[in-house]
Amino acid sequence: MSGNEHLGCWPLSRVAVVGAGGFMGTTLLKIISKVPDCEAVAVIRYPRSLPLVLGLSESVVATEGRTDLLADALSTCDAVIDVSVGPASEIPTSALQLAQSCQKAGVKRLVYTSSASAQSVKRSPYSLNRPPTYYGRQKLRAEETLLGRSMETELAVIRPGLIWGPRSSWTIRHVTEIAGAAVVAPSSDSKDASAPNLAFSENLASKMLGWALSEALGGSYYFADPWWSSWEDYFLSLAATLEISPSNVVVARKLRSGPPSRLLFEFLSNHPEVARRSKTAFTSLPEQAVDGIKAILRPPTPPPVPRPQTLMVSNSSRPTVVDTGRFTPTDIDVLCRWAEPTPQLDDGPCPLQVDKEQALQTTASWLSSSGHLDHLGIGLHR
């Protein structure tokens, strides 16, 4: 089945997609366009995003960041799915403005996309039990703001894990790492191994649409693929689909934080005010001191882009295992601490759209048509 037969039919419904110009927004618009008796209203912030949504929705509204225009755009809609992105500092405020606009417009149901990074994590016995990143803490604040409001609009907060698939920056990164034989994850027998919290983009979009059009109860939900036993399983499956030797998938027995440049970058990302002050202080230093600091923090030279004739260097059916792989603490959170959580978003009128093999093939086709595989020297024999 192509997948869209699963979606079923509902009475004529209008669904607004807020953040329609983004990766998940365009995915939602494509799925809505294939659902009988369902119309999409693409809500974008600025007109420059128009080329991304033209042809995917007959109704497009650019709000220019104005809440009055947002409420007007939602006034004819039965449900709203928010997949917007923006500065982390604005996440709670944007969520509150969206909820107020939904209430004003009389919207029945709102699906708010949060993140698995909003989970509280205790990285060490001495660390606080809270979302470790600034982005995760802001998403949690937005959740608490929305769920703490008394609203006639039914609300579901969805916490997807790492979203992969066509147009996903994570997918591009993963394929690049496989092609360059970089360490990608813990080995399946590592004490750091966990079931990956991965969400295929089309299935996530299909599930959010199904909830928006159903009578399911609101609340907080997670969503993850049911297919993967380990990160090693995911990377080996992705490599096999791209016809890359399994030995090109490099996994590690242990994961450690580093190098210094990665750790500093994460710290500054999580503390924007410190980052601003540090930048001011850094630019005022003598040129010789700046060059010395850059030399210390400079990341290792990346592996060369492989050529087709050198990519399949081994006939081994197993990945390459190394002793230690170095990642940022956030990467380690993703690989080791985002184990598939519960409760999941239950199957309702909109079951999973595609299976594992279809998801991998769809992703491979997009990587090929978009030129990413050519850039990495990977040729699919199809």
Average pLDDT, the chain: 81
Least confident of 169-173, 183-187, 194-198, 312-316: 312-316
- For residue 83, pLDDT beyond 90: yes
User: What span, in angstroms and rounded, lies between the C-alpha atoms of 277 and 283?
Assistant: 10
User: What span, in angstroms and rounded, lies between the C-alpha atoms of 237 and 252?
Assistant: 17
For residues 68-97, average pLDDT: 91
- For residue 5, pLDDT beyond 50: no
User: What span, in angstroms and rounded, lies between the C-alpha atoms of 62 and 132?
Assistant: 34
Model confidence at 313, in pLDDT bands (50, 70, 90)? very low
Residues contacting 364, CB < 8 A, separation 6+ = 241, 242, 380
For the stretch 21-74, pLDDT in tens is: 999 999 999 999 888 888 899 999 888 888 888 888 888 888 877 888 889 889
- What is 4-233+339-354's CATH number, 3.10.180.10, 3.40.50.300, 3.40.50.720, 3.20.20.20? 3.40.50.720
Closest CA to 187 of 247, 124, 233, 118: 233
User: What span, in angstroms and rounded, lies between the C-alpha atoms of 364 and 381?
Assistant: 12
Give me the pLDDT at residue 86, please.
Answer: 85
- Bigger pLDDT: 308 or 222? 222
Give me the pLDDT at residue 200, please.
Answer: 95
- Bigger pLDDT: 319 or 128? 319
- Bigger pLDDT: 130 or 171? 171
Cα atoms found within 13 Å of the Cα of residue 305, Cβ hemisphere only: 7
For the stretch 95-117, pLDDT in tens is: 999 999 999 999 999 999 999 88
Closest CA to 14 of 50, 45, 42, 47: 42
- Bigger pLDDT: 350 or 101? 101
List Cα–Cα distances, 2 to 25, 213, 242, 358, in angstroms.
20, 21, 21, 9
For the stretch 194-216, pLDDT in tens is: 888 899 999 999 989 988 888 77
For the stretch 354-371, pLDDT in tens is: 899 999 999 999 999 998
Name the amino acid, one letter, at 48: R
Which DSSP string do the residues of 122-181 spell out, in sequence order?
--STTS-SB-SSHHHHHHHHHHHHHHTS--SSEEEEEEE-EEESTT-HHHHHHHHHHHTT
Give me the pLDDT at residue 194, please.
Answer: 80
- For residue 119, pLDDT beyond 60: yes
Which DSSP string do the residues of 97-127 spell out, in sequence order?
HHHHHHHHHT-SEEEEE--GGGS-B--STTS
Give start and end residues of each alpha helix (H) in 305-346: 308-311, 329-332
Q: Is 216 helix (H, G, I), strand (E, B) or coil?
A: coil
Model confidence at 312, in pLDDT bands (50, 70, 90)? very low
pTM: 0.81
Residues contacting 303, CB < 8 A, separation 6+ = 180, 181, 182
User: Could you tell me the residue ranges of all domains in the chain?
Assistant: 4-233+339-354, 246-327
For residues 111-133, average pLDDT: 81
